[in-house]
Amino acid sequence: MITINTDKAPAAIGPYTQAKEVGGFIFTSGQIPLDPANGEVVGTEIKAQAEQAIKNVGEILKAANSSYEKVIKTTCFLANMEDFAAFNEVYAKYFTEKPARSCVAVKTLPKGVLVEVEVIAEK
């Protein structure tokens, strides 16, 4: 098992790592829309926040020698399911291979953000 960390994505805000590589697969921790440079939440609306969260995932995948195209499964958490269509607009730009996905609404997310995204990808 290999731990994946990059300073191009936000540092973990709890007792976990950005990602683990096991058996040729990358398992990322959930990424929220934090600016990796200063740890601040990016944007106040779903599109800006989705963009940043997905970019953070991309940086972790890159650090693991993987990519969006190699993503097998995503799990997406939304603070408000009314943001589903707007979230999908941003999501579709990055996950062009259409991986399997779960998308659920949750009561709250860390730092009061609107979205969190985690993935499983091939190396």
Q: What is the pTM of this model?
A: 0.95
pLDDT score of 122: 98
Name the domain count of the chain. Answer: 1
Instruction: Please indicate whether residue 103 is annotated as part of the active site.
Output: yes
> What's the rounded Cα separation, in Å, for the pair 113 and 123?
29
In this prediction, residue 14 has a pLDDT band, given cuts at 50, 70 and 90, of confident
- Residue 26, domain extent: 2-122
Q: What is the pLDDT of residue 54?
A: 98
pLDDT in the model for residue 12: 85
Supply the pLDDT for residue 109: 96
Mean pLDDT of 51-69: 98
Q: Given 75, 103, 120, 123, which residue is catalytic?
A: 103
- Please tell me the predicted confidence (pLDDT) of residue 13: 79
* CATH number of the domain encompassing residue 91: 3.30.1330.40
